[in-house]
Amino acid sequence: VMSTGCASLKKKFTRQKKKDASVDDKFIPVLEPEVYPVKKEGPYEHYAQQYTLFNVWISDFTDNFQGNMRNQKRMIADLQSALKAVREMKSVVQTPVIEGLTKIEKQVEYLLEEYQKPEAFRNTSRISSELRSVDRIVCKEFKPTSVKASLIAE
């Protein structure tokens, strides 16, 4: 009785050898990877994506500015990213829209310059006014559907 109990107890606490996982009959290796075609983005899709990014960066800056966020580097990075998005938007449109986007670009540059000043020297009311103006003008005049006619042809 003792020997049978010990054998089962010994079997319970001894480590079993692992079964060879590399030998699997169902596994079929892929010898040649499939090459997918590169997705081409047209000027409308590029403009729409940059428009969306611009709105995200400006709204993020606005929310943080109104919430008195203390992370200055993040807020400056938001404005720099918004400025980059405006420049990308300008790269795919023609003359009448470029002039309007240049005005928006100058406003964002002003916001960046103003925000890089020490906090005591910032004109917070002017920054708020510029933010509202940029948001209103971009949403009203530079939506991708309204700029569609002024896009550069491929």
pLDDT 10s digits, 5-55: 666 667 777 777 766 655 556 667 777 878 888 888 889 999 999 999 999
pLDDT at 115 (0 to 100)? 85
pLDDT at 34 (0 to 100)? 82
* CA separation for the pair 74, 79 (Å, rounded): 9
| Average pLDDT over every residue of 99-125 | 91
pLDDT at 90 (0 to 100)? 93
Q: Which residues neighbour 69 within 8 Å (Cβ) at sequence distance 6 or greater?
A: 75
pLDDT at 68 (0 to 100)? 77
- DSSP letter at 93? B
Query: Could you tell me if 105 and 83 are in contact, meaning their C-beta atoms sit under 8 angstroms apart?
Result: yes
pLDDT at 45 (0 to 100)? 93
Q: Which residues neighbour 103 within 8 Å (Cβ) at sequence distance 6 or greater?
A: 137
Residue 1 above 50 pLDDT? no
CA dihedral 75→102→130→66, nearest 10 degrees, is: -20
Residue 81 above 90 pLDDT? yes
Q: Give the count of beta carbons closer than 10 Å to the beta carbon of residue 82.
A: 26
Query: Residue type for 94, please?
Result: Q
pLDDT at 5 (0 to 100)? 61
Query: Could you tell me if 99 and 125 are in contact, meaning their C-beta atoms sit under 8 angstroms apart?
Result: no
| Beta-ladder partners of 93 | 151
Query: Could you tell me if 79 and 114 are in contact, meaning their C-beta atoms sit under 8 angstroms apart?
Result: no
User: Does 86 or 18 have the greater pLDDT score?
Assistant: 86
pLDDT at 13 (0 to 100)? 73
The alpha carbons of the chain give a radius of gyration, in whole angstroms, of: 30
Two tokens, residue 113: 């310059």
